[in-house]
Amino acid sequence: MCVYLAAFDAMILADMIEGKVSREEWKRETMGFARTIQQRGVDMGRRSQYEALPVEEYIADRAKASRPRKDEVWPEWAVADLQPTVAVA
């Protein structure tokens, strides 16, 4: 596990314990973050290893990886299976 993933998990868990987020939101945030960050790592690794890119592209990758948690919006593919279920009456 990465240090930043462990830090994120600790922060969002504290938010849940303090009642700032629900259990469902905790799960959505935790899984959305983990899935998104994992895919970003794969994408950046593939790009840097197999492509010759202008330095601006590497800077853009770094900026994306450094975005604060509060500014993140998880892609639909990362959280689609985590949406709250609605009971049918």
| Per-residue model confidence as pLDDT tens digits over 61-80 | 888 877 887 788 888 888 88
**Domain span at residue 33?**
3-82
Inside any domain, residue 43: yes
Inside any domain, residue 19: yes
Inside any domain, residue 62: yes
Orientation of helix 23-50 relative to helix 55-65, angle to 10°: 160
Inside any domain, residue 49: yes
Encode pLDDT of 16-59 as tens digits: 999 999 999 999 988 998 898 888 888 888 877 877 888 888 88
Burial 41-60, CB ≥16 within 10 A → b, else e? eeebeeeeeeeeeeeeeeee
What's the number of domains the chain is made of?
A: 1
Inside any domain, residue 89: no
Inside any domain, residue 34: yes
Of 21, 36, 40, nearest in space to 73 by CA: 36
Task: Compute and round to an integer the Cα radius of gyration of the chain.
Answer: 16
CB-CB contact of 27 with 82 (8 Å): yes
